[in-house]
Amino acid sequence: MKNFKILLVVLALLAGGINVFANGVTSRNSMISIDNNSQGGGKYGADSVACITNLSLYQEYFKQWKSTDYTGNAVLDALVPWRKVFFSCPKASQNMYLDGLKMMNYKFEKAPDNQKDAYMDTIKMVYLQRLENFPTKGTQNMKGEIYGRLGVDMMTLTPDRCEEAYGFLKESIALEQDNASVSSLVYYFRATIKKVKNGKAEESSVVDTYDELSSLIESNIEKNANNPKVLAQWQNAQGSIESTFEPYATCDALVGIYAKKFADNNSDISLLKKITKILKKKKCTSSELFFGATEKLYQLEPTPSSAILMGKMLIEKEKYTEASKYLEEAVGMLETPKEKADVLSDLAKIYYKLNQFSKSRSYARQSLELNPTDGMLYIMIGDMYAASASECGGNEFSSKAAYWAAVDKYVQARNADSSIAELANSRIATYSKYFPTTETIFFHDHKEGDSYSLDCWIGETTTIRAAK
C-alpha cells in the first residue's frame, strides 16, 4: 500500500508534464523554460523531472517517518531519493537540508562506533552545502548561525573532534556576537577547555574565552531582563560557564597563567586590560601582578578607569594619601553619576582614615547628592561627629552637643537605607546615652527641643535632647 501511494505521487507528477513548480506555472512551455534555466544550475538542476520526482518521493517517505515519531523504517526509503536531490539539485529546497540533518542524526545514533565519524562528515557536508546554496535568510547572513549549529552538533556527537568544532564555534561567535545562541557559547567554552586538556592550547586561552563569553552573556542578561523565559536560559548558561571555569578561577591559577605574559609583554594595553579585569572580577586584587598591571596600564593609558583601579588598589595596600591623588584625578573626568558617586564615596572614606574629617565630610556630601541612598556615608559622618565631641565644646554641656548631630546622621542613615537600620539603631542607642542630663541642660540656660548650633568644624544646627 505504501509503495502504491508513492507510485501515484510519481504518476501525478509525470502525467501530461510536470505541473508542480514554485511559481505555480503548469504549461509544457513553462516546463521547458525551467528545464532550460536549470541547465545553467537553476533551482531544479540539469534534470528537473528527475529532481522534482525525487523531491516528492523523499518528502512523502519523510512524512511517513515523521508520523511514526521518527522511529519507523520509512527513513531508509526517504534517504535514497533525498541523496539524489542533495547531489543533483541542491538548490531545490532549503527544507531538504533540515530534513537531511534529522535523518543523518538518526543514522548517527544507530551507527556502530567505527562509522560515526563518517556520519559526522555527512552532517558537516549537509550544513556547509546548505550555507553554500542558501547563504541568507531575508537580509540576514546565515554563516554565523549555521557554523554555530554545526559546532554544537560536532561537540555533542563527536567530542573528540573538539578542535574542528572549536574553529566553527569561534567563527560563529565572532560573526554573531550578542546574537550568538546560548548553546554555541556554552559549547565553545567546553571546546576551549578540551583543547587545553589535550595540550593543543595554553591555559590562558580558557581565561581569554571566559572573559569574552562573560561579556556577551551579561549583555544578553541585561537585554532580556523583562523576558523571564529567555533570561533563565542566559542565567543557566552563565552558571554553566562559571562552574566549568572554577578550576581555573583561583588567584594562584590566574596569576600563574598571566604572570609570564605580563613579564614578556607589559606594554600591550589589551593584555593589561584583560589582566586587571579578570583579577578584579575574581577578587585577586592583592596580588603583585594586579598592582603591576594596573600601574602599567595607568602609565600607558591614563583614563578614569585606570586611575580608579590605581586608587582602589592603593586603598587595599592602605596607602591612602597616594590613593587619593588617583581618585581625585579620576573624579574630575567622570560623567556618569553612579561612577562619580562611588569615587567620591571612596575619597570620603580615605580622608576619614586619615582623620581629615572636614575633607571627608565634604566628599561624602558630594557623593550623597548623586546617590542619596548610601546610608553608610551618613553613618560615617555620624561617627566623625561623635569622635569630635570633646573637641567641640569647653564644658559639660557643649562637649556633648556633637552627639546630637551624630544621632541626627544615624537617623538619616536609617531613612536612606533600611538594610542598615539595625546598625543605625545600635549607634543611636549608644550615643543617646551621652546626651547631657536634664539638669545640665537647665543649668546652662537651655531647654529640650530648642535648636542649637555647634561652633566647631561640625557647624551643624541640631535639637537639644536629654539623655534617657
Give 217-252 pLDDT, tens digit per residue: 999 999 999 999 999 999 999 999 988 888 887 888
pLDDT value at 363 more than 70? yes
Same domain, yes or no: 158 and 179: yes
Average pLDDT over residues 387-394: 91
Please report whether residue 273 resides in a domain: no
Please report whether residue 366 resides in a domain: no
Domain boundary among the residues 197, 219, 249 is at 249
pLDDT at 41: 57
Same domain, yes or no: 116 and 139: no
Q: Is there a contact between 352 and 393 (Cβ–Cβ < 8 Å)?
A: no
Domain boundary among the residues 68, 100, 130 is at 130
Rounded Cα distance between 378 and 345, Å, is 11
pLDDT at 17: 38
Supply the pTM of this predicted model: 0.61
| Structure confidence at residue 97 as a pLDDT band (50, 70, 90) | very high
Same domain, yes or no: 169 and 121: no
Same domain, yes or no: 192 and 80: no
Same domain, yes or no: 166 and 76: no
Same domain, yes or no: 25 and 41: yes
pLDDT at 284: 86
Expressed as residue numbers, the domain containing 39 is 1-130
Rounded Cα distance between 67 and 71, Å, is 9
Please report whether residue 309 resides in a domain: no
Please report whether residue 339 resides in a domain: no
Same domain, yes or no: 11 and 115: yes
Radius of gyration for the chain, computed over Cα atoms and rounded to the nearest angstrom? 36
Please report whether residue 69 resides in a domain: yes
**What integer best gives the mean pLDDT of the chain?**
88
Domain boundary among the residues 249, 276, 309 is at 249
- Percentage of the residues of the chain whose pLDDT score is greater than 90: 70
DSSP string, 215-241: HHHHHHHHHTTT-HHHHHHHHHHHHHH
Average pLDDT over residues 297-316: 89
Same domain, yes or no: 97 and 117: yes
Of residues 92, 88, 157, the one with CA closest to residue 121: 157
- Percentage of the residues of the chain whose pLDDT score is greater than 70: 91
- In sequence order, the 6+-apart residues with CB closer than 8 A to the CB of 222 are none
Please report whether residue 446 resides in a domain: yes
Q: Is there a contact between 214 and 163 (Cβ–Cβ < 8 Å)?
A: no
Q: 137: phi > 0 → left, psi -120 to 50 → alpha, else beta; which?
A: beta
- In sequence order, the 6+-apart residues with CB closer than 8 A to the CB of 142 are 131, 134, 135, 136
CATH of the domain at 228: 1.25.40
Residue 463: strand, helix, or coil: strand
| Structure confidence at residue 91 as a pLDDT band (50, 70, 90) | very high
pLDDT at 16: 37
pLDDT at 281: 82
Same domain, yes or no: 10 and 124: yes
- In sequence order, the 6+-apart residues with CB closer than 8 A to the CB of 252 are none
| Structure confidence at residue 394 as a pLDDT band (50, 70, 90) | confident
Same domain, yes or no: 121 and 190: no
Same domain, yes or no: 97 and 142: no
Same domain, yes or no: 385 and 399: yes
Range scoring the smallest mean pLDDT among 123-132, 184-193, 252-261, 365-374: 252-261
Please report whether residue 458 resides in a domain: yes
Q: For residue range 403-453, list pLDDT tens digits in order.
A: 999 999 999 999 999 999 999 999 999 999 999 999 999 999 999 999 999
SS3 sequence of 186-221: HHHHHHHHHHHHCCCCCCHHHHHHHHHHHHHHHHHH
pLDDT value at 258 more than 70? yes
Q: For residue range 23-72, list pLDDT tens digits in order.
A: 333 332 333 233 333 334 588 888 999 999 999 999 999 999 999 999 88
User: Which stretches within 250-374 are classed as H helix?
Assistant: 251-264, 269-281, 288-300, 304-316, 320-331, 337-353, 357-370
> What residues are paired with 453 via a beta bridge?
461
Q: How many domains does the chain have?
A: 3
Rounded Cα distance between 240 and 188, Å, is 12
Q: Which helix (H) or strand (E) element contains residue 451? A: strand 451-453
Please report whether residue 285 resides in a domain: no
* CA-to-CA separations, 55 to 2, 80, 98, 396, in angstroms, rounded: 17, 10, 14, 102
